[in-house]
Amino acid sequence: MSDATSPQRKAGDATRRRVLGDAHVDRSRADPDAWEAPFIDLITDAAWGHTWSRGTLPLRERSLITLALLAGLGNFEEFELHLRATANTGATREDVLDVLLHVAIYAGVPRANHAIKLAKTIYEEMEAKT
């Protein structure tokens, strides 16, 4: 794991903020003595620094891949977080529906069905806030 000043950590933090928003990242780091701080550092370095910040795929495509994996694996709490982040990645509702159709075929209808229900509710909440 890199230190807070390393290029990897800086890139990961910047990408995480771009995708999830400053408010989410700030909340996750609100208590610098938090027990889970090493975990936040790990995901900032590995997920956000090494993977999301590679530059080979646009954020829209990374977002869609992430949503498909999260829905297919049944990680619906993270699915909700990343679905809300589509407002920052450029993935559209139509994109997400296509991804969830793939999830239905390749990972199972029950998981896709649950993700579609969540997505519908989340999109309604997001629209109500605008």
What is the structure's pLDDT at 108? 98
Question: Taking the domains of the chain in order of start, what are their residue ranges?
Answer: 7-52, 59-129
pTM above 0.75, yes or no: yes
pLDDT value for 34: 84
Averaged pLDDT for residues 81-94:
97
| Of the options 3.90.650.10, 3.40.50.300, 1.20.1290.10, 1.20.200.10, the CATH number for the domain spanning 59-129 | 1.20.1290.10
Encode 29-96 in three state secondary structure: CCCCCCCCHHHHHHHHHHHHHHHHCCCCCCHHHHHHHHHHHHHHHCCHHHHHHHHHCHHHHCCCHHHH
pLDDT at 65: 98
